[in-house]
A and B are shown apart, each in its own frame.
Chain A
Amino acid sequence: AQSVTQLGSHVSVSEGALVLLRCNYSSSVPPYLFWYVQYPNQGLQLLLKYTTGATLVKGINGFEAEFKKSETSFHLTKPSAHMSDAAEYFCAVNGGTSGTYKYIFGTGTRLKVLA
């Protein structure tokens, strides 16, 4: 069975510092991987996704993530945090096989940006 683990339910960084949010997955087949962001009182919005091809994926708002098959990881990074990045971030995995549409979400990481 697939699963997603997000290390750190809360992460605090200073404005301008590197953001690193960790995501590890378990899957018997190469999955499709997603990062979503949820701002307060809003729905989830896609930041970026990995399906096939280049393992370094760039998303919106300066975020990027690298798919590392050997480490079964898909960590989210941003070189310089901005106050507006404060939100909750969810990593998700999808089976990647035809007909497998169920998405498994991690428990989320709440990012706090300190002035």
Chain B
Amino acid sequence: GAGVSQSPSNKVTEKGKDVELRCDPISGHTALYWYRQRLGQGLEFLIYFQGNSAPDKSGLPSDRFSAERTGESVSTLTIQRTQQEDSAVYLCASSTDQSRNEQFFGPGTRLTVL
């Protein structure tokens, strides 16, 4: 079956512009996660959704970052007024609503802010 998909795969933008990153989770997965991975570093948790609600937004680095999820499916991560330090790979993952179950990761969106 289809895995987690993300679009675009690569995004180059100018400082100050807004960007939207999309994640399509595996069908039926109620939990959805966003992570940021800077060059040479580990995964930085941003936010997770249970259904359409986000019980934990603690990882969002600033109010320029926001995310939403609709229909317990697709999620969009929006970064407003992008800065060079936002350059990273943004990974999305989904899982079923069982904490013992693995997360399935998408291939990521590589964001470059010039």
Contact across chains for B97 and A101 when beta carbons are under 8 A apart: yes
Would you call A42 and B107 a contact (CB within 8 A)? yes
The residues in B between 29 and 59 inclusive whose CB is less than 8 angstroms from any CB of A are: 31, 33, 35, 41-43, 45, 48, 50, 56
A73-115 contact mask (Cβ, 8 Å, vs B): 1 or 0: 0000000000000000010001111111111111110000000
Taking a contact as CB atoms closer than 8 A, the residue among B31, B100, B106 that contacts A43 in the complex is B106
Contact A103 B103 (CB under 8 A): yes
A99 to B100, CA, bound (A): 10
User: Cβ of A102 and Cβ of B42 under 8 Å apart?
Assistant: no
Taking a contact as CB atoms closer than 8 A, the residue among A36, A42, A96 that contacts B100 in the complex is A96
Is the CB–CB distance between B43 and A105 below 8 Å?
A: yes
Nearest to A109 among chain B residues (CB) is B42
Chain B 77-114, CB within 8 Å of chain A: the 1/0 string?
Answer: 00000000000000101010101101111111000000
Q: How many A-B residue pairs have CB under 8 A?
A: 58
Minimum CB–CB distance from B13 to chain A (whole Å) comes to 20
Q: Which of B33, B99, B104 contacts A98 (CB 8 A)?
A: B99
| Interface residue range, chain A | 20 to 34
Mostly, the B contact residues are strand
Task: Indicate whether A101 sits within 8 Å of B102 (C-beta atoms), given known contacts A42-B107, A90-B43, A107-B41.
Answer: no
Q: How far is the CB of B26 from chain A (nearest CB, A)?
A: 13
Q: Write 23 A-B pairs (CB below 8 A) sorted by A numbering.
A: A32-B99, A32-B100, A43-B4, A43-B107, A43-B108, A44-B43, A45-B105, A49-B102, A51-B100, A52-B100, A90-B42, A90-B43, A94-B99, A94-B100, A98-B99, A101-B95, A102-B48, A102-B56, A103-B45, A103-B103, A105-B42, A106-B42, A107-B42
Residues of A within 8 A of B (CB): 32, 34, 36, 42-46, 49, 51-52, 90, 94-108
List B residues at the A interface (Cβ < 8 Å).
4, 31, 33, 35, 41-43, 45, 48, 50, 56, 91, 93, 95, 97, 99-100, 102-108
